[in-house]
Structure 1
């Protein structure tokens, strides 16, 4: 561990971060390693009073922050990127031991965060508005972006760094203050380390705060009338509740929710490439990704070969302690999630499905599973599993496959494997999904490209690239007349 973060660890065990480290006598939460069950640290939880106080602090801090020059905001975000890079191993180590990430996944996530921070650092110096013509001589119409105010970010445990920073960084860049509520399963990786990062990057106190806690802390943040926007990544069920609360206050919310993403394997697909993609899309981070390939639709003519290749690859994957370099799948995040995945697979088998390989392991481990002979109505195929499970369904005609894909309540990502790329591009228009990837897999994220889903996978908003400007600001029309005019009344 980096010396600086060893020192700061003694602080987060006794303090909450409200722009500065504030000592409290609140509840202490033990942090356990999901691979070993070992207690590795502890963190202070916030109270409802702390939420109210943090909002007050953020409102006041934002009054100054919104008027800082673009050079100042850009410099702080660049400094955060540099600090992250200098301390990258610390972020990786905590992601591995707190969240069960493998070294491969944790390293990828850390480098993605650095890219996100650098990309956000360019936002403050971009054009802040547009000029529209007027029918009135001498009048100028300016349509400009202005900050929202206080932005609440509620982030998940599966990618606790990236899915926090993708909202925090652009929100700060646009002149907002931010209060982060990390998942209770990633309080350090997705919370305390980010407090350390932005504090040491020179961000003025109060413009970024971290409040750890259980669901009532998130609910208080969402319901607070002076929090002007909520950015949430997590389950569809929780997202619906957040949307309802925000709607009652006419508060903006950006929601990236669940998914049950399909990969369509056509009769002319390159099966070796398709299976390689399927293994990555299905089993990366133990399948605990909203974009996970959760449904495999395979043309009957290639189904036997595809299933055999997928099974062979799954069996060869190494499951174990994620801190070991050779490990490819670590543990599931907690006992509840482990039992959920086990029950879904075991119930499917009890109803006639065939478990080709994998299944329940010891403690929180689950071996990558391939499940065949399922029906399109089976929960193992219709529900988001959030585990390393590949349910395979056979189709005979592409129209049948599209109908099955579109029947899902989700609409996050779909992959199509075929040699007919122009045909697949046209086919994409018929698919209800926010993202379509041809000859690739569903776990895709390029930070300059807007990202988001349809149906119960999202709420119309998008993260990334140009979408960040409008997502984390609001528009204001200012008209200017050098000399006032006379109206006829």
Structure 2
């Protein structure tokens, strides 16, 4: 088994096919649970973006021309390395992102699956034969876009990087990845080391930690033709506007304020367990988090009581040294934002049923009841461990509340009648729907994305979505003799 991260080759360095000093200031790697500095990574500048893209352009043509079996083999090897080195990688996910062990295990599992599924993309048919009214061969084929820029966030740093990196590479592209500087090791260094050990030729993957200026440099660079961005709606809007001015595709996977609709007659205890997971998994720092609990009035009081009991029993602490259900929020800025939304909602009339307190970055899982739909914790994406509850009496009211939102990423409906729930889902526009489950779910084989403020309609994942995201369609005709014209 290769030890990916124990050697210091990556410390104070960026990756552009080899480990070199960045032109920016080194970035500290901080453990949010303790505030301890674990290491340093190199800080990139727009100059590093220029160097990386130049190497990517040079390497990409040969990569695309290689037999598909070679690309597939490297992706399969990468998946195997994620499995073989899972324990080492998971330790970094726990310490650097503040995730519990189960969350870290999910990241390495999904990462390996993303690589295995991407390996099959390399063997996908080039295109399809088309009819033509002329006597000629007519067909379309998929060709790589060239260089793909990937901008990934802190919350699920491996998954939200690899789900774009792996298919883009498999389809013959080169990739420049900008991980969030708060999770630059597990969201960037890990991928670089995996593909380095898997035998990916130099220049095809670069990892450049840095701030917004690195993302902007990727978006405006004329040789980067596609941007895959996951992050906040505000940042995504800016990236989409900038990409549009430069006439390039941007696949934007943005925020969510997802509804969990709980109908009458459900098993309240099971529903509360589902709701607790949906709202408190990874401290609520997930775009798919169950952010709005819309509960039928006949079960609302019992549901709120049961959910508060679950919240009170969940242990919060350092996931590296303790057996806990929730770890720390990523930083003080995020903690203060969460707390301000909670206190403002209480001021607006919500009742605090559990939580609402914190120590350092450890925020207690919080339940708010009797929440006005205009209250900040209900109307806004919190990105913290907060479960706001409001009630309804008719399905039309539930639909109106669920649809009174700019986001459209994920929806959960809990019901004794699955077909009734499916009919309800048809009236609530959203990218993902889960009947009798909470809102947090993703798999390598599905086209992931949302509507409204949750994205611009682009999808990543699954065969069709990945082909659309990371290739261009080219029309080709061929005939046996030179064409004849009357000119």
Specify the SS of the correspondent of 2:298: helix
Residues 1:277 and 2:277 are matched in the alignment: no
Instruction: Please say if residues 16 and 203 of structure 2, whose CA atoms lie closer than 8 Å, have aligned partners that are also in contact.
Output: yes
Residues 1:289 and 2:306 are matched in the alignment: no
Q: Find the counterpart in structure 1 of residue 77 from structure 2.
A: 79
| Deviation digits for residues 392-446 of structure 1 (CA, Å, limit 9, x no counterpart) | 0011111111111112000000111112212222222211111111111100112
TM-score by length of 2: 0.98
Q: Find the counterpart in structure 2 of residue 97 from structure 1.
A: 95
Count residues in correspondence: 486
Residues 1:435 and 2:426 are matched in the alignment: no
Structure-2 separation of matches of 1:39 and 1:88: 22
Instruction: Please say if residues 13 and 28 of structure 1, whose CA atoms lie closer than 8 Å, have aligned partners that are also in contact.
Output: no
Q: Find the counterpart in structure 1 of residue 200 from structure 2.
A: 203
Q: Find the counterpart in structure 2 of residue 132 from structure 1.
A: 130
Change (3 A) 1:140 1:2: closer
Instruction: Give how far 1:2 is off.
Output: 7.0
Structure-2 separation of matches of 1:297 and 1:124: 44
Specify the SS of the correspondent of 1:477: strand
Instruction: Give how far 1:86 is off.
Output: 1.1
Q: 1:112 aligns with which of 91, 110, 113?
A: 110
Residues 1:145 and 2:142 are matched in the alignment: yes
Q: Find the counterpart in structure 2 of residue 399 from structure 1.
A: 396
Structure-1 separation of matches of 2:319 and 2:42: 26
Change (3 A) 1:25 1:60: closer
Residues 1:6 and 2:3 are matched in the alignment: no
Gaps of 5+ in 1: none
Change (3 A) 1:60 1:346: same
Alignment of 1:340-419 (within 5 A): 340-419=337-416
Instruction: Please say if residues 270 and 417 of structure 1, whose CA atoms lie closer than 8 Å, have aligned partners that are also in contact.
Output: no
Instruction: Please say if residues 17 and 195 of structure 1, whose CA atoms lie closer than 8 Å, have aligned partners that are also in contact.
Output: yes
Change (3 A) 1:3 1:75: closer
Structure-2 separation of matches of 1:131 and 1:273: 52
Q: 1:235 aligns with which of 226, 232, 250?
A: 232
Instruction: Give how far 1:325 is off.
Output: 5.6
Instruction: Please say if residues 23 and 43 of structure 2, whose CA atoms lie closer than 8 Å, have aligned partners that are also in contact.
Output: no
Specify the SS of the correspondent of 1:66: helix
Q: 1:194 aligns with which of 181, 191, 198?
A: 191
Q: Find the counterpart in structure 2 of residue 181 from structure 1.
A: 178
Structure-2 separation of matches of 1:156 and 1:95: 13
Q: 1:444 aligns with which of 423, 441, 444?
A: 441
Residues 1:154 and 2:117 are matched in the alignment: no
Structure-2 separation of matches of 1:13 and 1:5: 9
Instruction: Please say if residues 329 and 363 of structure 2, whose CA atoms lie closer than 8 Å, have aligned partners that are also in contact.
Output: yes
Instruction: Please say if residues 43 and 188 of structure 1, whose CA atoms lie closer than 8 Å, have aligned partners that are also in contact.
Output: yes
Gaps of 5+ in 2: none
Residues 1:307 and 2:304 are matched in the alignment: yes
TM-score by length of 1: 0.97
Instruction: Give how far 1:3 is off.
Output: 4.2
Residues 1:166 and 2:168 are matched in the alignment: no
Structure-1 separation of matches of 2:32 and 2:22: 27
Structure-2 separation of matches of 1:278 and 1:320: 21
Specify the SS of the correspondent of 2:237: helix
Q: Find the counterpart in structure 1 of residue 218 from structure 2.
A: 221
Change (3 A) 1:325 1:113: farther
Q: 1:247 aligns with which of 244, 248, 258?
A: 244
Structure-2 separation of matches of 1:94 and 1:229: 29
Specify the SS of the correspondent of 1:131: strand
Q: Find the counterpart in structure 1 of residue 482 from structure 2.
A: 484
Q: Find the counterpart in structure 2 of residue 61 from structure 1.
A: 59
